[in-house]
Structure 1
């Protein structure tokens, strides 16, 4: 009897200073884990900083395990000397990329971020190496229960001079690579261990390592767990637990008090696609303004009294919706809210698709965004400054979608909400103003 050979895919993208700064000609050697001399495949990024998805062997999914098996691979990345990116060539290693049967793992790196990690980690080796932890969190350090009601709303009566009045999604977030107890007086820290990542990439890295490896992961469980991750970090941002003590960061990567953030980590494409839809949404409880402090853990029951990721997936597989799952763990008096301000999106989605033949102010705004994006992606044609969605505009949208086909999945020349959001993000990172 013929048996299918199990395999997964690795999606690679390389950028320079930000997600809209593609690096052409980066060489990536994919090797066996902990065996750098065993090169399996070598790929080179194109003008858009991408390579076709790389198929790699992976163990077949197990029908009874809580966590899917995977094969680890290492990457050796060689960045050429490119004006605006690096005066000299730069090489680094990333060890422990996980490949799962039938799934796509995303490895999207920015040179500025990687070089920041090298400073933070004070590696000292000739070739800087990022050693990634395993995505299962069953062996995480002991979690500390934190009372969600202990944090005062910034808008509550008696709160002096609130700095943040309404929840918002930032462009970037500052993370401390280490353990800090937020409930004791401030201690001295090494400021070099504070790194910056885009908010969405932070969420994607956390979700991949926190629950991306769960076997038979259900879409409703992805929604529930992603909302918990987002709400948790937005609560840290809103209540300013660390900032109020004078720390230069919003959150740490310690699972005792915060979330498991793997610096330089990969992400899970299926989970990423849902994050792109809901990254500006969060859990709100009762009449409180702040995002809910949604604690969670891997196994049931949770030491921190939060949502069990494994149990949430079992519930989803038994037909429960993500709202039913969230209410089971966090109570019935919750709603899903949308952040009022999303700083990485210059304008809100107009609420309807933009397509050829339309005349709409949103078309004019979108054409202006694409003209800025052309600086990094010259294959996109120049557009005139009118509100008409003409043939040239359709060609420009199609080209943008083709460049980003791994994320958008379409190249039909129609601007739907995912296309609009990605255009907005690319524009923002190229210096566009909200």
Structure 2
């Protein structure tokens, strides 16, 4: 379905979701006050549906935006996109312009979109980030199969003596056996949050969300406990 037809389809089945944008400086992480924030449908980025300024905390007001019906995110039917996609354009004095395309707004819940602004340089360049489709809706390759029982060293000992909650985890951006893929250090809390937001919808019942988050935490801590990535090389 094309961008314009998606918009028309959504107009026929309208619900409402909420969006709040937080703008911070990429240099010192301080909030950026009085930044101009324009919101548009991702399929029609030049037609703004909202235009607001950030407050002293670098935040916009909570904006109420159109979204598909709630039942779309409660169904296994992937033919109906359960969220609306918006483009966020940001301008602020002393910073480069920033655009985030594909911000997802689900009905009945608040979406929070952070934006980090880079200090303006001589070329006055333009930054653009594109958020890919949600993993529950987009067309992605299947997960790489793994053995349920992983081999361990001949000593028979687990790498770590006890389960620990790390401050950071190393995220390998590719298959485990691909040494050319990059490694990123990500805060553990941020990693869990980002994985959860990619694998579930915020409209699901609280108990369902909690169960999924606990499963994600358990899986991640198992990888840390056994230092799985290092052991598969």
TM-score range, shorter chain: 0.7 to 0.9
Q: Does 1:210 align with 2:199?
A: yes
1:70 aligned to 2:70? no
Q: What is the 5 A alignment of 1:34-433? A: 34-62=43-71, 65-66=75-76, 69-81=82-94, 89-111=95-117, 126-137=125-136, 139-150=139-150, 152=152, 158-159=156-157, 162=159, 164-177=160-173, 179-180=174-175, 182=176, 184=177, 187-189=179-181, 191=182, 194-212=183-201, 217-244=204-231
220 and 26 in structure 1: CA distance in 2 versus 1, 3 angstrom threshold: same
Q: How far apart in 2 are the matches of 1:36 and 1:99? A: 16
CA displacement 1:352-398 (0-9 Å, x = unmatched):
xxxxxxxxxxxxxxxxxxxxxxxxxxxxxxxxxxxxxxxxxxxxxxx
Do the aligned partners of residues 204 and 18 (structure 1) sit closer, same or farther apart at CA in structure 2, a change above 3 Å counting? farther
Change in Cα spacing, 1:80 to 1:244, as seen in structure 2 (3 Å) is farther
Please report the TM-score for the alignment, with normalisation by the length of structure 1.
0.42
- Specify which of 11, 27, 51 is matched with residue 20 of structure 2: 11
Corresponding residue pairs, total: 210
Q: Is 2:96–2:127's contact at 8 Å kept on the other side of the alignment?
A: no
Give the structure with the larger strand fraction: 2
Aligned to 1:429: none
1:40 Cα shift? 1.4
**Structure 1 residue ranges without an equivalent (≥5):** 82-88, 113-125, 247-434
Larger radius of gyration: 1
The change in CA–CA distance for 1:39 and 1:173 in structure 2 (over 3 A counts) is farther
Quick check: which one's helix share is greater?
1
Shift of 1:54: 1.0
Deviations 1:86-145 (A, max 9, x none): xxx122211111112211112134458xxxxxxxxxxxxx53322212224253312233
C-alpha RMSD of the superposition: 3.3
Distance in 2 of aligned mates of 1:11 and 1:99: 10
Question: With CA pairs under 8 Å and 6+ residues apart, which has the higher RCO, 1 or 2?
Answer: 2
List, as ranges, runs of 4+ consecutive aligned residues in structure 1 with deviation greater than 6 Å: none
Assess, with a 3 A threshold, how the Cα gap between structure 1 residues 151 and 52 changes in structure 2: closer, same or farther: farther
Instruction: Give the Cα–Cα distance (whole angstroms) in 2 for the partners of residues 109 and 165 of structure 1.
Output: 40
Distance in structure 1 (CA, Å) of the matches to 2:64 and 2:115: 19
